[in-house]
Structure 1
């Protein structure tokens, strides 16, 4: 018989209880389950690294240790991901400070980190139509993929929420979709637009495998007929559509469902929709999460540029 490994097995006898107490403390902070898991992963890596720096226990962690830890994580993660990492480290420092182990550690963690190093990849409205219409609706897989693409393009739902959509989440009589977001744990209600509803209905009526017990709306096209995985399954649905239609994003990057989410937000911006409304439609907790979509509104961004009036040149090149 084999013993299944525990995620905290890499921690020694001193830091493993600290990790367990931290995870219990996270549960009391009303964070979403996905956020708790992410913070626990970062803290587990951090606590496992401390003995390499000759830190014996939690009480011995110094400000310089935390600074070195940020540098350590910087070598493991991309710049965009470091924003989440430093957030997790700040939460870990707050736990250590509240538990009385140490004081002043939070000062060693940067207050801000870059979120993106390039602009958001989006496609115009005609590009969205090309992606949706590239599917072969004479096949069950084509019916499914068309419904998936249209749902993402018209609602801006996250890929994980699209993959997790259940039959009970759709209220056909009231024409709305209500679900619990995987990332935030908050309830989100969206209108079920006519074209989206028709595409989703066509799939269970003419293409969805029958006889299965899985209640996910979208299932694998081959046995076992279970729900799709948001990472690889949905990516390949979008990637194939990009390849078939020849569609490329505005900045030439991205071929997944997050491009459709960003394109949805961009269209709302172009129509003059308030950022607070866009943030609510995308299921964000705060308006800050939607601000990076502002970079895609090129027309209004150009209006923010300053001229050189009042700036006297120091000299000219010969």
Structure 2
């Protein structure tokens, strides 16, 4: 990082490190911002602070550290939300005459991502004992957070899982995972396997997600969250359903709630332009 900054400084007209000022460091930070992504800038800024501290403690310069920002704003990406009709088409696209079709139906519907918002790794990790048929709920320990999550077993999800277990899942297999490979060896699936399940559903329905969002199960977590927002569900409940540690991780879904965002819009009363521009 020192070499990068020192190599750039002559472009600013600084050829002697003893002549460095806080404004030069601030300009260097802006320069680095054009080379690194927001996530990487956190590491870059830590390195810049070390450089500044070294120069200050060596007696070469003073007042450099204050020019390094303490925080870096995170880039918030637009949340792409599939229309409800597209989500429904995806869940109905499997061939229910085959074992694979029943399994994929259960995963797409239980899609636990379209109905309950589970992460792919938690879907493949779902075990038979995690489903409480009597109480009508699913209880599991999340792979990412380690927290225990309890979700209601919705009627259509329960029916899809039951159909899979009775007519689609390989019989006589000791593996306790709900979803297994159709062909031997009959073992639990991986999160990457779920990508192909969803990608195939997108291909069958010719549904096109927004470029850059992918075709995996994660695309279907956003519709789940935004449907809850549309139903006036409070953010802590949505965050809990998605398995987040706090509400911060769920806030970016607010950008997809057009109806409530419109309520926040202000008019131009009091800030009208003084004269019309040509």
Q: Above 0.5 in TM-score?
A: yes
Q: Identify the residue that residue 207 of structure 2 maps to in structure 1.
A: 247
Q: Identify the residue that residue 247 of structure 2 maps to in structure 1.
A: 287
Q: Identify the residue that residue 143 of structure 1 maps to in structure 2.
A: 102
Q: SS state of the match for residue 114, structure 2?
A: helix
2:184 aligned with 1:223: yes
Which 5+ residue runs of structure 2 have no aligned equivalent? 6-24, 50-64
Q: Identify the residue that residue 125 of structure 2 maps to in structure 1.
A: 164
Report the CA distance between 1:115 and its aligned residue: 4.2
Q: Identify the residue that residue 278 of structure 1 maps to in structure 2.
A: 238
Report the CA distance between 1:190 and its aligned residue: 0.5
Q: Identify the residue that residue 44 of structure 1 maps to in structure 2.
A: none
Report the CA distance between 1:278 and its aligned residue: 0.9
Using the TM superposition, name which of 270-279 and 219-228 deviates more: 219-228
Deviations 1:79-102 (A, max 9, x none): 5xx28x949x98xx9xxxxxxxxx
Answer yes or no: is the 8 Å Cα contact 1:121–1:252 preserved in 2: no
2:178 aligned with 1:212: no
Answer yes or no: is the 8 Å Cα contact 1:284–1:290 preserved in 2: yes
2:142 aligned with 1:188: no
User: In structure 2, do the counterparts of structure 1 residues 113 and 220 end up closer, same or farther at CA, with 3 Å as the change threshold?
Assistant: farther
Q: Identify the residue that residue 61 of structure 2 maps to in structure 1.
A: none
Q: How do residues 290-301 of structure 1 correspond to structure 2 at under 5 angstroms?
A: 290-301=250-261
CA distance in structure 1 between the partners assigned to 2:248 and 2:225 by the alignment = 14
TM-score where L is the length of structure 1: 0.65
Q: SS state of the match for residue 115, structure 2?
A: helix
Residue of structure 1 aligned with 2:135, choices 158, 164, 174: 174
Count of residues in correspondence between the two structures: 239
CA distance in structure 2 between the partners assigned to 1:220 and 1:132 by the alignment = 19
Which 5+ residue runs of structure 1 have no aligned equivalent? 1-48, 54-63, 94-104
CA distance in structure 1 between the partners assigned to 2:68 and 2:255 by the alignment = 31
Report the CA distance between 1:246 and its aligned residue: 2.2
Query: Aligned-pair RMSD on alpha carbons?
Result: 3.5
